[in-house]
Structure 1
Amino acid sequence: MKLIAPLLALALSSLSHAALAADQGKAAVSALGELNGIALACQQPALVSRARNIIVTTAPKTRDYGEVFENATNAAYLEQGKSKTPCPDAVTLAARIAAAEKNLQAAFPVAQ
């Protein structure tokens, strides 16, 4: 009986840690998807390829993460067209993608 309470606490702690990691992962995937959408809208095919390569090689290959990436890409692409916001230059966008890659690698360290 004395063993049940610590085991239950450990199990709950593991679940909350896993949920936090999943949220971090989805946020990182979404951020990269957003940058991918901007690169698409701004006609930066090299950066689009780079973003897609990053997601394929770093994030777990699950439907959930794929949908998060595609939804963020689509939303950012449409927003870029609607808002008439000037496109960032290639160097700035590349730097933002590199930062997003580091966040993604931090969220999924095992996948590397």
Structure 2
Amino acid sequence: MIVSSQHYINWDIVEEKMEELSGRDCVTIPCWDIGEVDGIEMAIQADGHHTLAAARELGIEVKFEIIDEPEHLTGETALDAHYNDGDWYNVETSDPSIDSFDLIW
């Protein structure tokens, strides 16, 4: 499961990203592997929240690239270190651009 706690989306940035993505058929979003939390394998969306919103608006395919967490943090420690501005949600089944969140906790 890919999770994030970034709820804030700036539509000016999304519109800029939409222009950048024009003509593309796929976008890759980086995610950090944090191992197992509550019995579920998780990764944190590392960046690209506005790019993801833009890709979804344009109907562009999204791929999530799971890479190692840069400081080798795992589990609750990683979640605490990367907390942003809201409750943790499932990135693949949520859409912050319309305030629709599939909350994890």
TM range (shorter): 0.3 to 0.5
Structure index of larger Rg: 1
Instruction: Give me the TM-score of the superposition, normalised by structure 2.
Output: 0.32
Higher strand share: 2
